[in-house]
Structure 1
Amino acid sequence: MPKLQLIATVPMGLEAVVAREIKELGYEDMQVENGRVTFAGDEAAICRANLWLRTADRLLVKMGEFRATTFDELFEGVKALPWPDWIPERGEFPVEGRSHKSQLSSVPACQGIVKKAIVEKMKQRYRTDWFEETGARYVVDVALLNDIATLTIDTTGPSLHKRGYRKLVTEAPLKETMAAAIVLLSRWNAERPFVDPFCGSGTFPIEAAMIGWNIAPGLRRSFPAEAWPNVPQRLWQEARDEAYDLLRDDVPLDIAGSDIDPAAIEVAQAAAKAAGLAKELRLTVQPVAKTRLVGEFGCIATNPPYGERIGDRDEVEKALRQLGSVAAGHPDWSMFVLSPSRQLEHYIGRPATKKRKLFNGRIECALYQFHAPGGLYRRSTNS
């Protein structure tokens, strides 16, 4: 099959994590940029990437890229692209758009031009002046950055963080993609215990379990591209068969989550049940001070309350000090804390080994990484 240019859109700060995932899928011809990873793949890559990418937001087919400083340049550039090769006569093709640091700053105007240009191109192929748009959905995106227009079609639909297991949410849920990224950054594996003492709706424990069992995160959901003639059902079935073959649900897991809020634990338990992991996770109501770390070379990964949206700042500070005390008693455990607090190291009682700038939604945070001396990768490298 001919190579396609595919774009995995990425939360800022996680580009390297997504690139590593893409490489592990077997696609090495890639370009990493802010907010996206572009890579070469065939139609089967659309299926496999949607099913397997844990940390990307969505997967796009790149139709073309060109300079456009006038509406005429935008129209002609869009019209020159092979839209009928992808969009059938009855396909639905809404146009979305963004513009940043570009002369064509009116997004609605750009959307209208792109729509008109695609229609004109499709008229040439289908010999009709009217398109009903009653068929499969092809969301076209025009992104203008520094006067360069990038045209894509979205294969994913709702963002990849929507795994399908979380029907209810707590007040400030962490996205599944972010939780998975932090677990991957921790280099945790299923041979080691895992604990989240501020688990909220259970995202960290569930994502850790999915990684531990090698569950493809998109296995329980559908994608618009499943209805596209260009991506035959056979390829989707082969990708799903591969995912089921690679599942390791016979591996024992030692994963626990706790939260002081009983309602949050109810939400977490419902999500774990929906994910098929209810019997594998220990989810309990308790304050962080009661956390017990059992076993060697374990991993704490957590997203404590921030104080701005949840709870009182004094209570948050107290909880973070308690977290520091819990961790201090187990120097062979590593700890990864996502927080916007610049005082977190002070509350924890020791400096982080490493800090990584990340965004939880629109909130600028740091991932504070406290590596266990000699213990962080010991089980990973020996397994």
Structure 2
Amino acid sequence: MSKQIKLIATAAMGLESVVADEVRNLGYEVEVDNGKVIFEAPISAIPRCNLWLRTADRVKLVVGEFTATTFDELFEGTKALPWENYISEEGQFPVSGKSVKSTLFSVPDCQKIVKKAIAERLKRKYGMVSNMPETGAMYKVEVSLLKDTALLTLDTSGVGLHKRGYRVGQGEAPLKETMAAALVLLTNWRPEYTLLDPFCGSGTILIEAALIGQNIAPGFNREFDAEAWSFIRNKHWNDAFEEAEDLAKYDQKLDITGTDIDHKMIEIAKANSIEAGLGDLINWKQMQVSDLTIKQENGYIIANPPYGQRIGDLDEVKKMYADMGAVMKQHPSWSVYVLTAYEAFEKEYGQQATKKRKLFNGFIKTDYYQYFGKKTKGDM
């Protein structure tokens, strides 16, 4: 097998540049496209990227790419790829698919053809007559057809990378861990600064911030499908985990506080932070935003407050925004970052944002309102 492989880190719409920066920070050159970041790297990048990428959804290994306008072309193109370099004799290889603006628009048919082509290739290479046993490691195949170009990949991550393994409870509209990490990385918060989330919910933003502050790899306490793949040496995984352990800054002090009006959410946030190994690093308090008392001269707010999209909630949400604006007006040196789908947020908050960035929270179109704090003498 070639020493270099092609990988794709998939990204939510609007986060491609954030994911690209993360991949670059790991030492790989990237090409950015819609919904994905493409890069070539050694096999050791599979463990490292799965462990370290905070904002990517998955890490996929590119097996091949070719033009396919007929089912025969799809079958032969798939069969010509070196699947035996990746999938073991006992490997399970379920096939998922998608088709956009392609002649081959029937996804179920494409999946069946790809499955059959891979099976024929593997049976010939492994000298088998009967069907593949598929009792071993999991190799999730995806066939993606875009404008008659077929892209065949293997999902190295397994469960999506947003599943860090620490969420034991959540609210009605939980924020994905990957999005929460992105909200932190899109600010210039540093671990020596105070951080506050007055609508903390289940605590995801602050837990991700604490992981960033102590440089803890987000995938450190979970498993990945590729850990069972024989072509990736155990040494690559051991080295990646050792690197993550060596780079963690467990002694880094943090001043992070989460508040919420709902005492049940505070209990859930506490439980999640304990599960993440951060129980003593984050302060949790039941409190409404109008009662916030800020003593520090400089600090940051990063929040994903309710959007008021359910009937009867809007008036309450508008008051929350106004209350936060009134409190923060007294602290102009603080920077405030708020994600919301409510288009008149600035009006209720009482101040126009310094900057806005369009993001998608799941399928909800949102804006990330950014208010940059005025520098004080102690911050210059």
Q: Name the CA distance, whole Å, in 1 between partners of 2:265 and 2:45.
A: 37
- 2:37 paired with 1:37: yes
Describe the SS at the equivalent of 2:186.
Answer: helix
Q: Which residue of 1 aligns with 2:72?
A: 72
Aligned equivalent of 2:179? 178
Q: Helix, strand or coil for the counterpart of 1:137?
A: coil
Answer yes or no: is the 8 Å Cα contact 2:359–2:367 preserved in 1: yes
- In structure 1, give the amino acid aligned to 2:368: L
Deviations 1:43-80 (A, max 9, x none): 11000000000000000001111111111111111111
Amino acid at match of 1:58: R
Please tell me whether residue 208 in structure 1 is matched to residue 209 in structure 2: yes
Structure 1 CA distance, aligned partners of 2:219 and 2:84? Answer: 28
Whole-angstrom CA distance in 2 between matches of 1:217 and 1:309: 33
Q: 1:251 Cα shift?
A: 1.1
Which whole-Å CA distance do the structure 2 matches of 1:188 and 1:97 have between them? Answer: 39
Provide the secondary structure at the position in 1 that maps to 2:44. helix
Question: Distance in 1 between the 2:253 and 2:115 partners?
Answer: 52
Q: Give the match for residue 271 of structure 1.
A: 272
Partners of 2:140 and 2:155 within 8 A in 1: yes
Paired amino acid for 2:57? D
Runs of 4+ in 1 over 3 A off after TM superposition: none
Please report the TM-score for the alignment, with normalisation by the length of structure 1: 0.96
**Take 2:352 and 2:225, find their aligned partners in 1: how far apart are those partners?**
46
Aligned counterparts of 1:183 and 1:24: Cα–Cα separation in 2:
16
Counterpart in 2 of 1:58?
58
Residue equivalent to 1:120: 120
What does 1:336-347 align with in structure 2 at a 5 Å threshold? 336-347=337-348
Aligned to 1:225: 226
Q: Does 1:107 align with 2:107?
A: yes
Partner Cα separation in structure 1 for residue 66 and residue 293 of structure 2: 57
Match of 2:361 in 1: 360
- Contact 2:199 2:259 (8 Å CA) reproduced: yes
> Kindly tell me: are residues 41 and 321 of structure 1, through their superposed partners in 2, closer, same or farther at Cα, counting changes over 3 Å?
same
Aligned residue for 1:257, secondary structure, equals strand
How far apart in 1 are the matches of 2:356 and 2:132? 52
C-alpha change, 1:310 and 1:90, in structure 2 (3 Å) is: farther
Look up the match of 1:327: 328
CA distance in 1, matches of 2:368, 2:53: 21
Specify the alignment match of 2:197 in structure 1.
196
Name 2:14's counterpart in structure 1: 13
Conserved 8 A contact 2:300-2:335: yes
Q: Which moved more, 1:210-219 or 1:304-313?
A: 304-313
Q: TM-score, normalised by structure 2?
A: 0.97
Match of 1:186, SS state, is coil
Residues paired across the two proteins, number = 377
Give 1:366's aligned amino acid: D
Kindly indicate whether the alpha-carbon contact (under 8 Å) linking 1:193 and 1:294 is maintained by their aligned counterparts in 2.
no
Distance 2:264 2:363 in 1: 25
Q: 2: CA distance between counterparts of 1:358 and 1:310?
A: 24
Query: Quick one: distance in 1 between partners of 2:76 and 2:42?
Result: 27
Change (3 A) 1:328 1:173: same
**1:310 offset after TM fit, Å?**
8.6
Q: Counterpart amino acid of 1:170?
A: G
1:259 Cα shift?
A: 0.4
The corresponding residue for 2:97 is 97
Aligned to 2:87: 87
> Structure 2: how far apart are the matches of 1:177 and 1:69?
36
Name 2:289's counterpart in structure 1: 288
Contact kept? 1:317, 1:347, Cα under 8 Å: yes
Q: Over residues 149-204 of structure 1, what are the superposed CA-to-partner deviations in whole Å (9 max), with x where a residue is unaligned?
A: 11100000111010000021111110110010010110211110000000000001
Please tell me the residue identity of whatever aligns with 1:264.
Answer: M
Specify whether residues 311 and 44 from structure 1 end up closer, same or farther in structure 2 by C-alpha distance, changes over 3 A only. farther
**How many angstroms apart in 1 are the aligned matches of 2:33 and 2:187?**
23
* Letter paired with 1:297: N
Aligned to 1:111, what secondary structure does the other structure show? Answer: helix
Taking the aligned partners of 1:270 and 1:311, their CA distance within structure 2 comes to 30
Query: Which shifted more, 309-318 or 227-236?
Result: 309-318
Q: 2: CA distance between counterparts of 1:175 and 1:290?
A: 28
User: Which amino acid in the other structure matches residue 290 of structure 2?
Assistant: A
Q: Structure 1, residues 302-324: CA drift from partner, whole Å, max 9, x if none?
A: 00101114961100000000111
Aligned to 2:137: 136
Distance 1:366 1:212 in 2: 25
- 2: CA distance between counterparts of 1:293 and 1:220? 34
Contact 1:307–1:316 (CA<8 Å) still a contact in 2? yes
1: distance between equivalents of 2:311 and 2:258?
Answer: 19
How far the C-alpha of 1:123 sits from its partner, in A, is 2.0
8 Å Cα contact 1:193/1:296 also seen in 2: no
Structure 2 counterpart of 1:155: 156
Contact 1:192 1:296 in 2 (8 A): no
CA root-mean-square deviation: 1.4
DSSP-derived class of the 1:245 partner:
helix
Inter-partner Cα distance in structure 2 for 1:56 and 1:309:
30
Decide whether the 8 Å contact of 2:308 with 2:342 is kept in 1: no
**1:249 Cα deviation from its structure 2 partner:** 1.1
Structure 1 unpaired stretches of 5+: none
Where in structure 2 are there 5+ consecutive unaligned residues?
Answer: none
